[in-house]
Amino acid sequence: MTAQEISDITNFSKNHISKILQQLVRKGYLISARGPKGGFLLHEKARNINLMQIYTLIEGEIEESACKMNCNNCPFNQCIFGGLEKKFSNEFRDYLAHKKVIEM
């Protein structure tokens, strides 16, 4: 696929997609080819990596979510969100860690 095709499918800017694709090429996950029939191809070794590896490369580590209320003196004895932000972060992290590129 070309950066333009991926941009058209995802509705992200072509420039942003190109930067990410180049990171994946440098890391050895993709092979790039120039020219009229060029584009990007998944490298054989990348088939068994998990999505967490790609996410971390692009976005960095997933931070533990903290309370978004920013209250210095919270009036509640327990979080009114019941730890949902931590639960969502853990589920997202777990999903990415167990989903292989080849499954996509």
Task: Record the pTM.
Answer: 0.71
- Estimate the share of the chain in helix, then strand, then coil, as percent rounded to the nearest 5: 50, 10, 40
Give the pLDDT mean for 37-62: 89
Q: What separation in angstroms does the CA of 28 have from each of 47, 54, 95? A: 11, 11, 23
Residue 66 has pLDDT above 90, yes or no: no
The domains of the chain, with CATH numbers, are 1-48 (1.10.10.10), 50-104 (no CATH)
Number of H helices, E strands in the chain: 4, 2
Contact 45, 102 (CB under 8 A): no
Confidence of residue 71 (pLDDT cuts 50, 70, 90): low
The tokens describing 85, both together, are 């932000």
Q: In whole angstroms, what is the distance from residue 44 CA to residue 38 CA?
A: 18
More confident residue, 88 or 67: 88
Confidence of residue 31 (pLDDT cuts 50, 70, 90): very high
